[in-house]
Every structure is written in C-alpha cells, then in structure tokens.
Structure 1
Amino acid sequence: MSNNTSQPRVWPMLRARNPRDLIRFLTEAFGFEESVVYGDGERVDHAELSWPLGGGVMLGGTRDVADDPCGLVPGTFGAYVVTDAPDELFARAVAAGARPVRELTDTDYGSRDFVVADPEGNRWSFGTYGGHVAE
C-alpha cells in the first residue's frame, strides 16, 4: 500500500435524476467545488466535486440499475462530511433548500453536527467529527 496521502483514496459516489441541478445545489448549498463534469447538455456521465477540507464525491446521471456496476439508485446516498463551521453551513444549506432531517446538535462524543436531505433525497451529515477537523 502506498504512503502517498496527497490525493483522496476513497470517493463516495451517487446517482442523480437531475445531475446538473444536483451539482448546482451541492456547490451552492454545501460549498462543494466542481472539479470536472463530463457529459453533453443536461446529461452527466461522470462528475467530481471536491470538498475544501479534502476528499469529495463522484456523481453521475441516472442509469438503469441493471447497467450500473454498483446498483446505485438516485436518492439513496448518505455521507458524513467534516466541517469546521457547522452552524454557518447549516444556515447556508437550509437557505438553499436543504431539508433538515436532524437539527444542529452537540453529540456526547464531542461533535457538533446536523443532517439534511438534498433535492434528490440523499442524506448529508456535516459536523466537526468529535472536534477533530481535517487539515
């Protein structure tokens, strides 16, 4: 196994019914940064969205589940994303249309976090992960 940690080695992936709309939402509401998007018009074959503290997600348009090697269905994704500003991010996400699933809370393990759903129904948890912020 390589010791090279400069690039993320795990890329969660999700499918979307309206991938261009979801990309716009994820960048506006949460602050992901669009790295690459392949596809014509509203079709998205592959996209990568980076998270400012490291890592990111891969996104693609709807495929027939039988043709998708991972069997992914739009609206079934969930992830925990580390942030150093959960209160500000929660306000930004809700203002952009994210649906609160669990309001801001302080956990017994030292994290301040929340859960919201994006327009496709995917669940996004954001928090300080026990007070540890990625560098």
Structure 2
Amino acid sequence: MRTVYALTRYQDCQAGLDFLQAAFGFTVHEVAKNDEGVVHHAELRVGDDMIMVGLGKPGGPGIYVAVDDPDAHLARARSAGATITMDLVDQPYGSREYGCADPQGNLWFFGTYRP
C-alpha cells in the first residue's frame, strides 16, 4: 500500500490531463468533476504508481518519473508540445534523464534512475 503520492496542479485540469496522456503516456484512473462539470481532481496511473492532479495554480519543484527509454519518451513529449528545459544527459550516478515543462508551467523530469 502506498503512503506517498506525487501531486501537481493545473488551472485547467482537463487540459492538463489531455497533455499528460498525450505527452507522457499516463493513463486516467479516476476523474472528479464539480457541479459545473469542471475537473477538479484526477488520479493518473504511471506504471504501478499514481500521480494526483488538482485544480489550482501550477508550479512547484517538479515531479520525477522513472522511465525505461528516456530517448523515446523525450521524443513523445516534444511532439506533444512539452518545453524541454534540460536536454538528455547521462548523469554521473548512472541515470539518463531530461527535464521539461508542460503547457501550464509544471516541471517534469524523466530518467532511468530508480531510487
């Protein structure tokens, strides 16, 4: 059972969900809408893990997600409109990783390092 979940916020949660699925391959687990039909909370599957998405101001330190093929992942993210903030780099601790920002300004990092 998990006790820690990553959380990111979007001013437009539906647009955030659409981007996260297209750019990073995340899948929707659950979506909650308010009385007006606006998404205010969602849970996305990332392999065996989950990221929560909430309505609010984007920003913060960022989220790191381990992936098997960062080169292919970067190509997918770039084609979906991610702004690359750190090109692929081989880190001295053995990870190959990159960083990007989504269209609403949240920072994401992807690499092969698995703590």
TM-score above 0.5, yes or no: yes
Measured after TM superposition, the shift of residue 77 of structure 1 is: 5.1
Q: Is contact 1:43–1:61 with CA below 8 Å preserved after alignment? A: no
Task: Identify unmatched segments of 5+ residues in structure 2.
Answer: none
Indicate the residue corresponding to 1:44 in structure 2: 39
Give the number of aligned pairs. 114
Distance 2:73 2:60 in 1: 22
Distance 1:91 1:58 in 2: 24
Measured after TM superposition, the shift of residue 42 of structure 1 is: 5.5
Call closer, same or farther: CA 1:74–1:42 in 2, change over 3 Å: farther
Greater gyration radius: 1
Q: Is contact 1:10–1:55 with CA below 8 Å preserved after alignment? A: no
Indicate the residue corresponding to 1:81 in structure 2: 65
Measured after TM superposition, the shift of residue 33 of structure 1 is: 0.7
Match status 1:29 vs 2:48 = no
Match status 1:115 vs 2:110 = no
Name which structure has the greater RCO, CA cutoff 8 Å, separation 6+.
Answer: 2
Measured after TM superposition, the shift of residue 88 of structure 1 is: 0.3
Call closer, same or farther: CA 1:104–1:42 in 2, change over 3 Å: farther
1:45 partner SS: strand
Measured after TM superposition, the shift of residue 12 of structure 1 is: 1.3
- Aligned identity (percent) is 40
Measured after TM superposition, the shift of residue 76 of structure 1 is: 2.6
Distance 2:73 2:28 in 1: 18
Distance 1:42 1:117 in 2: 27
Match status 1:101 vs 2:85 = yes
Runs (4+) of structure 1 exceeding 4 A deviation are none
Q: Is contact 1:86–1:128 with CA below 8 Å preserved after alignment? A: yes
Amino acid of the residue matched to residue 44 of structure 1?
V
Measured after TM superposition, the shift of residue 9 of structure 1 is: 2.5
